[in-house]
Chain A
Amino acid sequence: DSGVTQTPKHLITATGQRVTLRCSPRSGDLSVYWYQQSLDQGLQFLIQYYNGEERAKGNILERFSAQQFPDLHSELNLSSLELGDSALYFCASSAWGGGGTEAFFGQGTRLTVV
């Protein structure tokens, strides 16, 4: 158990819908990362938050947004869903978020868009 909790584990929704994925980081970790794992794109970094503020942005679509709350949990919002958004979404957390910091991954949310 990494200490990072993601909910839900599985999610099935229709095209055009909006979903919210939730992540609780390890106790004491200030930084949260979101990654998308799909068969064609592999593992891609989406976005990073550190202590409530956006720290870095990767290949995140405009239809996707995220935030980190004062209690440090984070949510990833995916809207106007398309079939191609079907993927495994990982959250990871680390102590401070700089280069080389060990990131601990949650078990992922499997999103299926039908």
Chain B
Amino acid sequence: AQTVTQSQPEMSVQEAETVTLSCTYDTSESNYYLFWYKQPPSRQMILVIRQEAYKQQNATENRFSVNFQKAAKSFSLKISDSQLGDTAMYFCAFSGYGGSQGNLIFGKGTKLSVKP
């Protein structure tokens, strides 16, 4: 069974600085997808970034980028130029590759606080 581990329950960063959230996962599959979701206090789950395991290039979305290390089964999220609106819970998630593999397996989350 796949598992996703986020080892940092809480982190804080100063506004405008850079922060990296860690995620490791375990799977025996060679093709899969990884995601970072953000859950602000409004509790809405928002997709931040998505990585396809068969693509070696790390995904980037504006100030958000990932460091995907397939051999190490590591998938960290870097937030550059942190903003107050980035304060939220961040969840790393895994999904399989096949037609019935759309469900997400989530880590426990990292609570990020951006301080002014």
Which residues of A does B touch, CB under 8 Å?
2, 31, 33, 35, 42-45, 48, 55-56, 58, 88, 90, 92, 94, 96-103, 105, 107-108
Contacts and interface: CB of A to CB of B under 8 A. Distances in A.
29 contacts: A31-B102, A33-B103, A35-B104, A42-B108, A42-B109, A43-B109, A48-B100, A55-B102, A56-B103, A58-B103, A97-B99, A97-B102, A98-B99, A98-B102, A99-B31, A99-B32, A99-B95, A99-B98, A99-B101, A100-B33, A100-B52, A100-B97, A101-B102, A103-B102, A103-B104, A105-B44, A105-B46, A107-B42, A107-B43
A33 B105 CA distance: 12
A90 B44 CA distance: 9
A93 B43 CA distance: 17
A105 B44 CA distance: 7
B45 A102 contact: no
Q: Is the interface of B mostly helix, strand, loop or mixed?
A: loop
Interface string B31-44: 11100000000111
A77 B99 CA distance: 26
Given A42-B108, A102-B47, 18 more contacts: A2-B44, A33-B102, A42-B107, A43-B106, A45-B105, A48-B103, A55-B100, A56-B103, A92-B45, A96-B102, A99-B32, A99-B95, A99-B102, A100-B33, A100-B102, A102-B50, A103-B104, A105-B46
Contacts of B33: 99-100
Main secondary structure of the interface of A (DSSP, over half): strand
B102 A90 contact: no
Interface in B24-73: 31-33, 42-47, 50, 52
A94 B108 contact: no
A7 to B, nearest CB: 15
Given A92-B45, A99-B97, A107-B43, A48 B109 contact: no
